[in-house]
Structure 1
Amino acid sequence: MKGKEWYQADDVAEEYDSKRFSRGGRLIDDREKRAVVEAIGPVEGKDVLEIACGTGRFTAMLAERGANIVGLDISNAMLAQGRAKARRAGVADHIEFLRGDAARLPFPDDHFDAVFAMRFFHLAETPAKFMAEMARVSKHLVFFDTFNRRSTRVVYNWLLPMGSHLYSASQVERLLDDAGLRLVNGEHDFLLPYGFYRKIPNGIAREFRDIDTSLGETAIGDALASVSYWTATVGDGKT
């Protein structure tokens, strides 16, 4: 089972957080949340859209920080998990969850202050369409991550059930340019792939993470990082 079919399965949604963000996966969760917060900045009173919101890890976090947030996903099972998480966090009244297609977003132009997508583009069948839609509905900021072609992810990718798409930096730059977006910042991380961290206890994972981070700060880090976080702004004069 690959792609959309795998992602929308009920059992995948039910086990998604526990399989990916327990044990050493907590380090991944922390890093991804920090990346989102740093990219978007203060969100109180801002209108924010999350594409492929999944189980609502980021929607709930940003709602707690005062955002007016919409979480869109193609999977009803994932959305159910997101709604439950929002209720537990006490922010259900501040999030609107919608089922929809990221290639045809049901919003007018310039509708959101920021639009972001995490863990999305590796499954994207038509990345140019998705990027164009994110740019269309954003007044200013677009943020997303990619799994990288020149990394240990290449080996790990063979084992994945969904057939992840890996990107080079030049591919990302072309996607941004074609969508009328201007790259502001790119951060590169995790020389060791996510799957490695998920397999080991958190305490041991922290030791490897310290080594990983140290190597990531060298010249080899950017070249071989398995994950990149990209921040872009709309480049046609919108503010």
Structure 2
Amino acid sequence: MTWDPVWEEVFRQQAWGKYPGEDLIRFVARNFYKSESRKDIKILEVGCGPGANLWYMANEGFQVYGIDGSHTAIEQAQIRLDSECPNWKGQLFVGDIGTLPFPDEYFDAVIDNGAVTCNSHENSILIYSEMARVAKKQGKLYSRTIAKGSWGDETGEHVGYDAYIVDEGPLLGKGYIRFTKYEDIEKLVSDFTIQEVQLLSREYMDVKKTVKEWVIIGEKK
């Protein structure tokens, strides 16, 4: 199972983001806003959580599919979509993002917004490979993942390759976290052609710490 049960408690106890990030909106807009029929565009988010990204994409008229290991997260996403996106199209699943319950070449885009980074290097390669399997030829990839050197890196318990149960910063209490080196990105998403890599940085000036994340944009080979 490529999912840490700690997230069940996180979703139960904490309010989560209600709106998508600007970089994800830009990705969807750039690739799909000019589509002839948005209702025919199918987008999958792995580790979708309570569904902020799905809510946005459903409101824009796309078919949305989400999978998460947390029953609580999927329940919250279902409630929000049903109440705020009348007649939305798609489906939600509780399941393992390493074994996706979809046929080959089904989705126009696959999205990971900070879920794969909660898995080991080896499992992450398998997850990205599964995402490629279910993506159409030339289907798009969006992945946002914690970068090496981000706040929390090399703190707490070392549990794998560049992976820690951190003991400080925003990732405290979030379980297994893998920090990605730039040179490892191509190995992780080898089934995709990388089109763009951005480094997002958020400074916490009071403690002189920085949260760093890669945004990886790709296309299935």
Q: 1:14 aligns with which of 12, 16, 23?
A: 12
Q: Measure, in 2, the Cα distance between the counterparts of 1:175 and 1:119.
A: 14
| Partner AA of 2:90 in structure 1 | I
Q: Deviations over 1:170-199 (max 9, x none)?
A: 11111122xx2110011111242xxx59x9
Would you say 1:67 and 2:65 are equivalent positions?
Answer: no
| Partner AA of 2:44 in structure 1 | L
**Greater CA deviation, 143-152 or 224-233?**
224-233
Which structure is higher in RCO with an 8 Å CA cutoff and minimum separation 6?
1
Q: Measure, in 2, the Cα distance between the counterparts of 1:8 and 1:39.
A: 33
In structure 2, the residue matched to 1:85 is 80
Deviation at 1:102, TM superposition (A): 1.1
Would you say 1:53 and 2:48 are equivalent positions?
Answer: yes
Q: Is the 8 A contact 1:63 1:91 kept in 2?
A: no
Deviation at 1:30, TM superposition (A): 3.7
Q: 1:225 to 1:135 in 2, by over 3 A?
A: same
Q: Measure, in 2, the Cα distance between the counterparts of 1:84 and 1:127.
A: 29
SS at match of 1:149: coil
In structure 1, the residue matched to 2:145 is 146
Q: Deviations over 1:95-148 (max 9, x none)?
A: 311112111111111011111111212212310110100011101111111101
**Greater CA deviation, 127-136 or 97-106?**
97-106
Q: Is the 8 A contact 1:153 1:226 kept in 2?
A: no
Deviation at 1:93, TM superposition (A): 3.6
| Partner AA of 2:63 in structure 1 | N
Would you say 1:171 and 2:184 are equivalent positions?
Answer: yes
SS at match of 1:4: coil
Q: 1:116 to 1:167 in 2, by over 3 A?
A: same
SS at match of 1:122: helix
* TM-score where L is the length of structure 1: 0.72
Identity of aligned residues (%): 18
SS at match of 1:226: strand
SS at match of 1:61: helix
Q: In the comparison of the two structures, how many residue pairs are matched?
A: 194
Q: Deviations over 1:5-48 (max 9, x none)?
A: 21123xx21344x3x548xxx8xx54354354356432712011
State the Cα RMSD in Å: 2.6
Q: Measure, in 1, the Cα distance between the counterparts of 2:65 and 2:216.
A: 21
Q: 1:190 aligns with which of 201, 212, 217?
A: 201
Q: Measure, in 1, the Cα distance between the counterparts of 2:55 and 2:17.
A: 16
Q: Is the 8 A contact 1:141 1:234 kept in 2?
A: yes
Alignment of structure 1 residues 16-165 onto 2, 5 Å = 16=14, 18=15, 20-21=16-17, 29-31=20-22, 33-38=24-29, 40-42=31-33, 44-45=38-39, 46-91=41-86, 93-125=88-120, 126-139=123-136, 140-154=139-153, 157-159=166-168, 160-161=172-173, 162-165=175-178
Q: Measure, in 1, the Cα distance between the counterparts of 2:8 and 2:87.
A: 22
SS at match of 1:72: strand
Deviation at 1:225, TM superposition (A): 6.6
> Any gaps of 5 or more consecutive residues in structure 2?
156-165
Q: Measure, in 1, the Cα distance between the counterparts of 2:67 and 2:17.
A: 21
